[in-house]
């Protein structure tokens, strides 16, 4: 597989862009290689600058739920773009998209658009602190909520400890009001709320962890979060940037939370709601959302927030996410996930195949992974070998052992066959 063009562009990029990339995982450092530079996508396929074609199991990390360049989305984007790319003023598309989100997610009574998941989370945290008059935020090790200072933290040595900055440039002061707990640890949660529940403004959690690989919440875990926050006067922020409108028409909450009988106070959405454009949102109960300016005094603003082209793309994407699309996503995720797992088992490769709705991943570890500490014990060197085996056979998957995989509704039977044939080859050399 020729990659001279990608290599050349990456060397050129490193001169003008730190590390040659605009987001770290793209650099391929964790798999010991160089990135592919993609120039075109159509349906289930992506094509790099050297003309190599791949079945895409990244999908821009989630947004390309319908596949690349879906005709209805392209039409909406082109039509809107002809009238201008941005006004910095209100427009119909953001109203229509907000209404679509509210119609799909019952606890979401109002929506505020921003341009990134990081912005959405930052605003949700600010709202929670304003609503409760408290400072402490609880998050879970291995759950990623963007790169705002207060949440770019790691756990200390105690079960429940103040977050410690895990990036230079983040001060201890910025994270002093963030507590980090092990994911899926009910005992640690109960202990924290028994002693400090009156100080907690909010718990923030991924609806299902997807930034340490696919690690779903244990049965009853999210329900416990809702119960504890409600009983202690705190808020629950459900981060559905990854799972929102991908796991089901109403995201993780509709598929799993609603049947369990609990609701969050705030959601953060991204990825699918922009259809590949920079767009994210905070949504939640009206009484909390109305604390935002200009109705309330909690400040948030952005020139490109609710951008007409981005909201047109998101609206067209959601409108085309029919029940049949979700059936296809679940089918393809199962076919590919189980098929790859069978290939690994057949080759004698120890692993754990894990799912979170239609998201899935593979841990090269002996047992099921339930938290970040266990995820870090996997054999990442073996994952890198498997990754390169797939890439060599024309299958593009996340270049990290700590990421979820995504399917699109555009994947065909032939694509599935190609992926599973590639998996058999990759498993043999892993």
**Spatial contact of 238 and 266, defined as CB atoms under 8 Å apart:** yes
Q: What is the DSSP letter of 19?
A: G
Active site residue 326: no
First to last CA, the chain: 19
Quote the CA–CA distance of 382 and 366 in Å, as a whole number: 13
Q: What is the DSSP letter of 166?
A: -
Would you state the structure tokens that stand for residue 133, as one six-digit string? 């008059």
Would you state the structure tokens that stand for residue 166, as one six-digit string? 């895990």
Tell me which of 56, 271, 326, 415 is the catalytic residue: 271
Residue written as token pair 């039409």: 75
Task: Using DSSP, state whether 112 is helix, strand or coil.
Answer: strand
Q: Residues near 179 by Cβ (< 8 Å), separated by ≥ 6?
A: 136, 137, 138, 139, 160, 161, 162, 163, 192, 196, 200
Tell which phi-psi region holds residue 205, choosing left (phi > 0), alpha (psi between -120 and 50) or beta.
beta
Tell me which of 185, 239, 265, 415 is the catalytic residue: 239
Quote the CA–CA distance of 265 and 274 in Å, as a whole number: 22
State the alpha helices, DSSP H only, in 200-269. 221-231, 251-252, 258-260
Active site residue 372: no
Nearest to 186 by CA among 220, 163, 158, 209: 220
Would you state the structure tokens that stand for residue 375, as one six-digit string? 């995820």
For residue 132, is the peptide bond before it cis, meaning its omega torsion is within 30 degrees of 0? no
Active site residue 239: yes
Tell me which of 54, 56, 139, 144 is the catalytic residue: 144
Q: What is the CA radius of gyration of the chain?
A: 21
* Residues in the chain, overall count: 430
Quote the CA–CA distance of 273 and 315 in Å, as a whole number: 7
Quote the CA–CA distance of 397 and 400 in Å, as a whole number: 9
Residue numbers annotated as active site: 144, 239, 271
């Amino acid at each position: 597989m020729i990659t001279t063009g990608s290599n050349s562009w990456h060397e050129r990029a490193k001169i003008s862009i730190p590390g040659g990339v605009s987001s770290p995982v793209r650099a391929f450092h964790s798999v010991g290689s160089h990135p592919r530079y993609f120039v075109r996508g159509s349906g289930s396929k992506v094509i790099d600058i050297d003309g190599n074609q791949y079945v895409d199991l990244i999908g821009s990390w989630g947004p390309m739920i319908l596949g690349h360049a879906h005709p209805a989305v392209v039409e909406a984007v082109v039509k809107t773009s002809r009238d201008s790319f941005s006004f910095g003023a209100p427009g119909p598309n953001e109203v229509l998209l907000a209404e679509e989100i509210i119609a799909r997610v019952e606890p979401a009574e109002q929506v505020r658009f921003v341009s990134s998941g990081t912005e959405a989370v930052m605003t949700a945290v600010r709202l929670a602190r304003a609503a409760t008059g408290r400072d402490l935020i609880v998050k879970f090790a291995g759950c990623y909520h963007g790169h705002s200072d207060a949440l770019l933290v790691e756990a200390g040595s105690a079960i429940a400890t103040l977050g410690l900055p895990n990036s230079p440039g983040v001060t201890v002061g910025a994270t002093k009001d963030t507590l980090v707990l092990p994911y899926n640890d009910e005992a640690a949660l109960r202990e924290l709320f028994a002693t400090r529940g009156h100080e907690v403004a909010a718990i923030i959690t991924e609806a299902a962890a997807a930034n340490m690989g696919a690690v779903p919440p244990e049965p009853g875990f999210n329900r416990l979060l809702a119960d504890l926050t409600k009983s202690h006067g705190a808020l629950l922020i459900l981060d559905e940037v990854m799972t929102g409108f991908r796991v089901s028409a109403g995201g993780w909450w509709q598929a799993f939370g609603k049947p369990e009988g609990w609701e969050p106070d705030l959601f953060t959405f991204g990825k699918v709601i922009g259809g590949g454009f920079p767009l994210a949102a905070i949504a939640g109960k009206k009484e909390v959302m109305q604390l935002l300016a200009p109705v309330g005094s909690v400040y948030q603003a952005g020139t490109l927030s609710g951008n007409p082209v981005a909201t047109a793309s998101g609206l067209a994407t959601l409108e085309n996410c029919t029940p049949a699309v979700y059936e296809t996503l679940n089918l393809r995720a199962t076919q590919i996930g189980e098929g790859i797992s069978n290939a690994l088992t057949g080759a004698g490769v120890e692993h754990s195949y894990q799912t979170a709705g239609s998201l899935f991943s593979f841990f090269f570890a002996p047992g099921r992974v339930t938290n970040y500490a266990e995820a870090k014990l996997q054999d990442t060197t073996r994952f890198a070998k498997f990754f390169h085996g797939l890439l060599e056979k024309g299958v593009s998957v996340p270049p990290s052992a700590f990421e979820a995989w995504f399917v699109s509704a555009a994947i065909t039977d032939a694509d599935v066959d190609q992926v599973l044939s590639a998996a058999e080859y990759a498993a043999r050399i892993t």
